[in-house]
Amino acid sequence: MKEKLQKIREEAILQIESSKELTKLNDVRVAFLGKKGELTAVLKGMKDVLPEDRPMVGQLVNDTREAIEKKLEETKKKLEEAELELKLKKEVIDVTLPAKKNKVGHRHPNTIALEEVERIFTGMGYEVVEGPDVEYDYYNFEALNIPANHPTRDEQDTFYVNDKIVLRTQTSPVQVRVMEKGKLPIRMIAPGRAFRSDEVDATHSPSFHQIEGMVIDKNITFADLKGTLQEFAARLFGPDTKVKFRPHHFPFTEPSAEMDVTCFKCGGKGCRFCKGEGWIEILGCGMVHPKVLRMSGIDPNEYSGFAFGVGLERIALLKYEIDDMRLLYENDIRFLKQF
């Protein structure tokens, strides 16, 4: 019995030592220590051993098992280390390769232009407010002194939702909403979307953006309007920018004007950019009509104010020298990433 165990032990160690892979090592474990393994067979034969010899034989079996297990464990560790070593050698990481870059989006030219305008006006103490895109006819037209059948309505090819509700054709209705709140004085700008049933071309889109502005206080005059908008133009287009006011007509302001700025490309001499004019039209403005003030609950004998409306796309196109408005809406990454 003693010799048999000795033989098992030697044979097992030999086989373990010649195992070059973990799977092979496991086969050896099963062959000797498994349920049907050689050592287990010896244990099963214990019933044939004389009772007085059993403790001694039991001890021998245990020693053999321990020796085999120890050898198995050592070899397993060695094989695992070798395997890892090999893997590390094979999978070399070239740290000099360029990293994968995550593509990060950025602000749209409209947004950049809007933020710039907002910065200029908030810097002058203006509040930024918003109104609804879907608006009552009352706010979009009626309260701005554009009654039913007024010819101005025809100029603004409107998307009607029903008789009383329209997609706002301008941001001017926000003026009325702010005045109605009754908190005076007012110094606000209202950026947002506007809609007109226009055909798409290089300068038109059925959905576009405007920035409305309004100041209401005691003793506000046209001089305040001019000073404010001159400052706005200089901050937006450069300190040498001059402005020019041409008489115009808007139903909600009196007097009304359109403001031009000197071409920031040629400084006013006339070039391809300003089509030889030297001037570029930029916004509509005027003194808030007394009727408009009264309709919104403000006494025109006590308060006066000015208002203006500017197209956001127009500013973005000018500032970034983009010659087709459609580019702003096509979401072509190759175009957008230039800004």
Site for ligand DAH, rule CB under 6 A: 170, 172, 212, 250, 253, 284-286, 307-309
Shortest Å, Cβ 258 to ligand DAH = 8
Beta carbon nearer to ligand DAH, 61 or 292? 292
Give how far Cα 309 sits from Cα of 164, 214, 229, 265, Å. 24, 9, 11, 23
Comparing CB distances to ligand DAH, the nearer of 12 and 225 is 225
Among all residues, whose Cβ is closest to ligand DAH? 309
Pick 51 or 247: Cβ nearer ligand DAH:
247
Q: Minimum CB separation from ligand DAH for residue 299, in Å? A: 20
CB 271 to ligand DAH: min, Å: 27
The CB-of-164 to ligand DAH minimum distance in angstroms stands at 20
Torsion of CA 328, 330, 333, 334, to 10 degrees: -80
Query: Rounded to the nearest whole angstrom, what is the least distance from the CB of residue 287 to ligand DAH in the complex?
Result: 8
Using the minimum distance from each CB to ligand DAH, give the nearer residue, 19 or 169.
169
CB of 210 to ligand DAH, least distance (A): 6
The CB density around residue 117, as the number of other CB atoms within 10 Å, is 20
Closer residue to ligand DAH, CB minimum distance, 32 or 136: 136
Q: Which is nearer to ligand DAH, 32 or 308 (CB)?
A: 308
